[in-house]
Structure 1
Amino acid sequence: MDRLEAMAMLVTVTEAGSLSAAARALQVPLATLSRKITDLEARLGARLLIRTTRKLTLTDAGVTYLASARRILEQVEEAERTAAGEFTVPKGELVITAPLMLGRLHVLPVVAEFLAAFPEIHVRLVLADRNVNLVDDHVDMAVRIGRLPDSAMVATAVGSMRLVSCASPALLAALGEPLEPADLLRFPCVTVDVLQTSSTWRFRHPESGAAVDVHLQPRLAVTTTEAAVDAAGLSVGVARLMHYQVVDALQRGKLKTILQAYEPEPSPVSLVHASRGQMPLKMRRFLDFAAPRLRDAIAGVASFG
């Protein structure tokens, strides 16, 4: 039997949570996958999985073997990259992830320049407003907004981003400009979360630094930041978004920032990758290429509004 293939299948089964889901992900018949796992257990003389109709559970032997299998597969992958020249020549596929709107506005132009400069590198750009797991999803590098709790990740700072509250000039003319967060209780608001019927916006007191929470009832809840910007521009209500998401509307005079003195601490923006020993040249080249350009782009956002 192909032990590496069986190891990879076991890893996929545990990540997918079931044999049927793993079979779909691997595009192999369920019977084939089940037989491979059974053959692996027979070779080892140990049961790795406890299978029930509801879920799969690793045995103690399975937990230990899975950890070893992951390390072996990572070492094989690194050896293959070395043999293919990824550590001596910048080439191959580079998988990058970024928040949807930030990626479209600021990361994509950098990627386009990078591709022109490095013709032997191909990029898959995953834009999503969720934190993709870099290791499990085989992502090389991520652009992240916010503090990074995972110490296994290596972060290169490229700037910081404000969380701003904004409203249309027409709405402010009609209701007056709020002087403190509690004044928002007399304003309609727009939120980007249809799953909640209420929203809490946290501000920071400019003198004490204490948190100031305001509990609001959204007049309109939408599913995208672009829709929230458009709705705020149409005077539906006050919106609270990352600065880069509204800077175009601010520049065109469709929106105006409010309560700037009460804004929370800006969130760091970082280029992040997993710590895995020697970095392939394609990643090193992208990091060196993208970091200064993203710093300039983020600084440009910060300079307005």
Structure 2
Amino acid sequence: MDRLQGMRVFVRVAEGGGFAGAARALGMSPASVTRAVAALEAAIGARLFIRTTRSVKLTDAGGRYLEDCRRILSEITEAEAVAAGSTATPTGVLTLTAPVQFGRLYVLPVVTDYLARHATVAVRALFLDRIVNMVEEGIDVGVRIGHLADSGLTAIRVGSVRRVVCAAPDYLERHGVPETPRDLRAHAVIGSSNPGALPEWRFGPEQRMAVTVQPRLTCNTVDAALAAAVDGWGIARLLSYQVALALAEGRLRLLLEAHEAAPVPIHVVSPEGRRAPAKVRAFVDLAAARLRADPRVNPAAP
């Protein structure tokens, strides 16, 4: 049995929870299904299932291999459709990534709209506060906030956000309002341990003014830093979309607006550009249009 057919059998066993069910679904004998999985395990040199008299469970290696098999089989299906002339119909599994909070607030609505439009596509949404290697991690589309390195990715700018300094009114009543960035040294500062966080906050359009901060509270998530600021513990520096609701509700106030750095760009990126499969092109076009039309993401939007 060839390797691709072995993958198909393996996926069916994993999704159906057993060899007998996979055999019925595939029109094969149980013995043939067992031999196919055994041959696949021998070929890759790893055990894929833990078998007992009552259950069949994936091993850790099997779980990882299942995701790869699904992706490979989806890509083969799409390649065959393209070769047959079905390039206009998005099919397969689309894997995308975005920062956690931005993904939840702005990308997820695009994803659900995309799924409603394209019944033959499934989406894996990975909301992560780190920069992923899209090629190595099998990501089709990403939304990135920040200046892009020369990575070879095709990028479409869809908007920008500001880095803002903020605090709760209660905190400012107790400790005063900083008038210049250097005044922050006399205040309680809430820091971030996220990848890319710096021990200094830079100010001004060209970020020439640097203030070294020594946080007494350091958080590894945006939600935690935001909650601490709203609770009046100290001063935080976050992105404008992250604090928009708290500002609108009066739970936070902006500080040092005259000293803000230049806005940070937002891009939709993909490794393949316009040569990408239909599922990718369709999502990129939809995401770019939706995000550009949102004034919370694109200040230039009407």
Q: TM-score surpassing 0.5?
A: yes
Residue 167 (structure 1) shift: 0.4
Q: What is the TM-score when the length of structure 2 is the normalising length?
A: 0.70
Partner of 1:251: 248
In 2, Cα distance between equivalents of 1:247 and 1:34 = 52
Structure 1 residues 1-305: aligned runs within 5 Å? 33=44, 79-80=79-80, 82-83=82-83, 87-193=87-193, 199-204=199-204, 209=206, 211-275=208-272, 278-299=275-296, 302=299
8 Å contact from structure 1 (residues 106, 297) kept in 2: no
Structure 2 gaps of 5+ residues are 5-39, 47-74
**Inter-CA distance 137–241: structure 2 relative to 1 (3 Å threshold):** same
Is the partner of 1:297 in helix, strand or coil? coil
Measured after TM superposition, the shift of residue 116 of structure 1 is 1.0
**How many residue pairs were aligned?**
237
* Distance change >3 Å, CA 187–CA 287, structure 1 → 2: same
Aligned-pair distance for 1:77? Answer: 8.9
Aligned-partner residue type, residue 145 of structure 2: I
CA contact (8 A) 1:152 1:275 kept: no
Letter in 2 for 1:176: G
What is the aligned-residue RMSD (CA, Å)? 3.0
Contact map agreement 1:86 1:281 (CA 8 A) in 2: no
DSSP-derived class of the 2:158 partner:
strand
Q: What does the per-residue CA deviation read over 1:234-262, in whole Å, with 9 as the maximum and x for residues that have no partner? A: 11100011111111111111111101111
Distance in 2, Cα, partners of 1:113 & 1:277? 21
Q: What TM-score, normalized to structure 1?
A: 0.69
Q: CA deviation at 1:302?
A: 4.9
Contact kept? 1:96, 1:124, Cα under 8 Å: yes
State the shift of 1:112 in Å.
Answer: 0.9
Query: Which runs of 5 or more structure 1 residues have no equivalent in the other structure?
Result: 5-27, 36-74
**Which residue identity lines up with residue 152 of structure 1 in the other structure?**
G
The answer on whether the counterparts of 1:244 and 1:301 sit within 8 Å (CA) in structure 2 is no
**Mapped partners of 1:125, 1:266: distance in 2:** 26
For residues 290 and 194 of structure 1, what CA distance do their matches in structure 2 show?
Answer: 26
What's the offset of the Cα at 1:284?
1.5
Offset of 1:125 from its aligned partner? 0.6
**Cα distance in structure 2, aligned partners of 1:101 and 1:95:** 18
Distance 1:194 1:93, change over 3 A: closer
Sort the Cα spacing of 1:169 and 1:244 in 2 relative to 1 into closer, same or farther, 3 A: same
Structure 2 distance, partners of 1:172, 1:250, is 14
CA distance in 1, matches of 2:207, 2:102: 29
The amino acid that maps onto 2:212 is H
Q: Higher mean Cα deviation, 277-286 or 157-166?
A: 277-286
| One-letter code aligned to 1:82 | V
